A and B are shown apart, each in its own frame.
Chain A
Amino acid sequence: MTLRGMVWPTGVAALVVAAVLVHWSAGDGDPIGADDRAREEVHRMAPGYNPSREPLWQPASIRQESLLFAGQAAFGLLLLVYSVHRLRSDP
């Protein structure tokens, strides 16, 4: 790999390290998702609003939820790696 080709992999690695560091420094408290903040804002703006529907099914705990998120990421990564590998070996 040329020196120029190293720029992006290094950048990505740096970002991952940064994300982990931020996550650590945030402590135990799970950061509130932007989606949840938007939901709170909806209730502030329209106090009478009643959500028309609830999700059919919800993960029982935060642990279960992160497990499912990890599963989704793993599936995506597998599909990506497999496809990229096949594309690269294409003559």
Chain B
Amino acid sequence: MHIAEGYLPWKHALGWTGIALPFWIHGIRKVSRAMTEAPRRRLELGAAGGFAFLLSALKIPSLAGSSSHPTGIALGAVRSGPSEMAVVGTIVLVFQALVLAHGGITTLGANAFAMAVVGGWTAWGVFRLGGRCGWGEGVVLFLAAALSDLATYLTTAFQLAIAFGGDRGGFFAAFPKFVGIFALTQVPLAIAEGMLTVFVVRLARTRTETALETVA
């Protein structure tokens, strides 16, 4: 889902960086608070970061001879919080931009907004909404992760369409094209990420939590 280095006009690159900036500042404050709080919070952030690093490194072949990767943002967004995840996701993106030449520094703002901000808040929103509707935890987690993944790719398609749609046919012609490119590879991956997220959340339960659940 990364917009490659240089593949946004300067105005757009700067604009998205400006939009991402307040989320970074707020997130850094929340992360530094979490690091000094209970050790549990630190470990949960560690698990969230590890999961995001692992999943975004998995280039999985998908339909139509194309490949893509899941984002792994949802787990941390529901366990640690979406503001914290905006920072963790950005760290992953910086790593991939500098070491792997995937994504870029000029497009960091746009990519961080799509993956870490929109992806994180979507997961959190779906999780809260599903919980309020009284659906089972597994279902809610699955939906949170899968929809967060899809929201990220829709945002990337939107960013590319408003940047490059102008020349031919405008935004409304360009948006479906980019959505088509990402959707085909991303739907199976979103389902896979949903299942993995449920699995890891269950795995990360403490004994006390598991015992309480068995009693209930």
Contact = CB atoms under 8 A, between A and B. Distances in A.
Interface residues of B, number: 74
A91 B208 contact: yes
Interface of A: 5, 8-9, 11-12, 15, 19, 22-23, 26, 29-35, 37-39, 41-42, 45-46, 49, 51-59, 65, 68-70, 72-73, 75-84, 86-91
Given A80-B47, A80-B51, 16 more contacts: A15-B195, A15-B196, A19-B60, A33-B66, A34-B67, A35-B3, A38-B7, A45-B174, A49-B9, A55-B5, A72-B95, A76-B57, A79-B53, A80-B50, A80-B200, A82-B50
A88 B206 contact: yes
Given A52-B9, A54-B6, A55-B97, A84 B200 contact: yes
Which of A32, A53, A73 has the most chain B CB within a 10 Å cutoff? Answer: A53
A46 B99 contact: no
Interface stretch (B17-25, B26-34, B121-129, B176-184): B176-184
Nearest to A12: B199
Given A11-B195, A87-B43, A37 B66 contact: yes
A35 B153 CA distance: 11
Interface string B50-66: 11111111111110011
Contact of A53 (B5, B100, B156, B203): B5
Interface stretch (B112-120, B143-151, B159-167): B159-167
Nearest to B192: A15
A77 B54 contact: yes
Nearest to A81: B50
B35 interface: no
B88 to A, nearest CB: 11
Contact of A8 (B57, B65, B66, B199): B199
A32 to B, nearest CB: 6
A5 B206 contact: no
B58 A73 contact: yes
- B interface majority secondary structure: helix
A91 B206 CA distance: 7
A8 B198 contact: yes
30 contacts: A8-B195, A8-B202, A12-B195, A22-B62, A29-B65, A30-B67, A31-B65, A33-B59, A33-B67, A33-B68, A34-B66, A37-B181, A38-B3, A38-B181, A38-B182, A41-B178, A52-B6, A52-B106, A55-B5, A59-B101, A68-B99, A70-B57, A76-B55, A77-B54, A82-B50, A83-B204, A86-B46, A88-B203, A89-B207, A90-B208
